[in-house]
């Protein structure tokens, strides 16, 4: 059993910053690739950023240069630093852990960016 708990969402003005955290517990280790996804109302869930066990990262084009994903292996946690937020970043943000034979998702945290 794996549990992922996101935190750090909220309401922020355009141009502001937020830092999301995802605390992982259970059958998960530093070898799991982790990621942040987001889902805006009426849209499909989309990959935002991903980080593997070595710390290699990839970002969606729409967040490159603004968001940074990081992981703290000692704390079994990943973070998403979001800067220069835009109204179009408004969405529920989900943490995901890739595993075998299945992946796990957190419950999501709402991020709302006002113009």
Q: Which residues pair with 21 in a beta bridge?
A: 7, 79
Give, for all 115 residues of the chain, the pLDDT tens digit.
889 999 999 999 999 999 999 999 988 777 899 999 999 999 999 999 999 999 999 999 999 999 999 999 888 999 999 999 999 999 999 999 998 889 999 999 999 999 9
By CB neighbour count within 10 A (0-12 exposed, 13-18 middle, 19+ buried), where does 82 fall? buried
């Amino acid at each position: 059993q794996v549990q992922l708990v996101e935190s750090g969402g909220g309401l922020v003005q355009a141009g502001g910053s937020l830092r999301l955290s995802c605390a992982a517990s259970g059958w998960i280790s530093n070898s799991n690739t982790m990621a942040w996804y987001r889902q805006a109302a009426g849209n499909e869930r989309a990959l935002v950023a991903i980080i593997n066990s070595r710390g290699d990262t990839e970002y969606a084009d729409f967040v490159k240069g603004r968001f940074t994903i990081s992981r703290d292996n000692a704390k079994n946690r990943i973070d998403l630093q979001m800067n220069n937020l835009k109204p179009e970043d408004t969405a529920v943000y989900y943490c995901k852990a890739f595993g075998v034979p299945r992946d796990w998702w957190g419950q999501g945290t709402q991020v709302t960016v006002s113009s």
